[in-house]
């Protein structure tokens, strides 16, 4: 009997080692955004921590938006919250789009007149411009990426708040006499009925 050779290997999942003690000292702001479905009703959430204890939180939403818009709105609200602290703060966000945009890409977009390479129109331009303005004078702020849904307490709380923002947006939309539509996920229909 001839043994067959393996010409493939199972994909290895990238694992992340999370040092939760990194969030236990100093000021940390966690920002998140969500949309269900995308596009559709969306929400953002921000949670502020000092030495591992939640100090404040905020959330909001929009009945007709996109996931990226809610991630950017969460980032903007997080920047505003961090600046109000007046102390060195790390703002954590699980959106690569928001973090890389703020830390790497925005500078070049601004130099090109808020255009992407090839003179391509930048999506969510008004939010990026607001983020740029909010970062002015935010010398004590560092924006970092964190893995979402990985058990990081502040990130989980910001996610919870963004879902509360979705629920509030749906409820507000329904109160205004608008149809909520068949596109709503079952869990949000239950929130509306409860």
Beta carbons of 57 and 77 less than 8 angstroms apart: no
| pLDDT tens column, 114-155 | 999 888 999 999 999 999 999 999 999 999 999 999 999 999
| Model pLDDT, residue 10 | 57
- Taking only the tens place, the pLDDT of each residue in 32-43 is 999 999 999 999
Q: What is the pLDDT of residue 188?
A: 54
Domain total of the chain: 1
Backbone dihedral region of 6: left (phi > 0), alpha (psi from -120 to 50 degrees) or beta?
beta
Radius of gyration of the chain (CA): 20
Q: Residue 182: its pLDDT value, please?
A: 46
Which residue, chain included where needed, has tokens 């961090």?
Answer: 82
Owning domain of residue 62: 23-193
Select which of 42, 45, 94, 101 is catalytic. 94
* Beta-bridge partner residues of 89: 27, 141
In a domain? residue 1? no
pTM of this structure: 0.82
What pLDDT score was predicted for residue 55?
A: 97
d(CA 149, CA 161): 14
Q: Please, are residues 93 and 99 in contact by the beta-carbon 8 Å criterion?
A: yes
Residue 135 forms part of a structural domain: yes
CA dist list (Å): 30 to 77, 92, 191:
10, 5, 25
Residue 178 lies in a domain: yes
62 as an active site residue: the answer is: no
Q: Which residues of the chain have pLDDT under 50?
A: 4-7, 180-183
**54 domain-assigned:** yes
Among the listed residues 33, 60, 74, 154, the single catalytic one is 33
Active site residue 64: no
The count of other CB atoms within 10 Å of the CB of residue 45 is 30
* CA–CA distance, 40 with 45 (Å, rounded to integer): 17
Non-local (6+) Cβ contacts of 99 within 8 A are 75, 93, 143, 144, 145
Instruction: State yes or no: is 94 an active-site residue.
Output: yes
CATH number of the domain at 50, please.
Answer: 3.30.420.10
DSSP assigned state of 12: P
Annotated catalytic residue within 58, 71, 74, 165: 71
Residue 11 belongs to some domain of the structure: no
Q: Cβ neighbours of residue 143 under 8 Å, at least 6 residues apart? A: 75, 79, 90, 91, 93, 99, 102, 103
Is 63 a domain residue?
Answer: yes
SS3 per residue for 19-37: CHHHHCCCEEEEEEEEECC
**Domain annotation covers residue 170:** yes
Predicted pLDDT at 14 = 62
Residue 9 lies in a domain: no
Q: Tell me if residue 71 is catalytic.
A: yes
């Amino acid at each position: 009997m001839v043994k067959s050779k393996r010409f493939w290997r199972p994909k290895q999942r990238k694992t992340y080692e999370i040092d939760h003690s990194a969030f236990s000292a100093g000021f940390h702001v966690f920002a998140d955004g969500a949309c269900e479905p995308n596009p559709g009703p969306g929400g953002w959430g921000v949670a502020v921590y000092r030495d591992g204890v939640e100090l404040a939180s905020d959330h909001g939403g929009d009945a007709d938006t996109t996931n990226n818009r809610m991630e950017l709105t969460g980032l903007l609200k997080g920047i505003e919250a961090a600046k109000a602290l007046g102390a060195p703060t790390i703002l954590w966000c699980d959106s690569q789009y928001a973090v890389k945009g703020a830390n790497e890409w925005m500078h070049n977009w601004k130099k090109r007149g808020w255009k992407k390479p090839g003179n391509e129109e930048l999506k969510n331009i008004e939010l990026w411009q607001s983020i740029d303005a909010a970062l002015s004078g935010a010398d004590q702020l560092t924006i970092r990426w964190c893995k979402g849904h990985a058990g990081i307490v502040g990130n989980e709380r910001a996610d919870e708040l963004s879902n509360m923002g979705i629920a509030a947006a749906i409820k507000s939309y329904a109160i205004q006499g608008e149809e909520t539509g068949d596109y709503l996920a079952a869990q949000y229909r239950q929130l509306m009925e409860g």
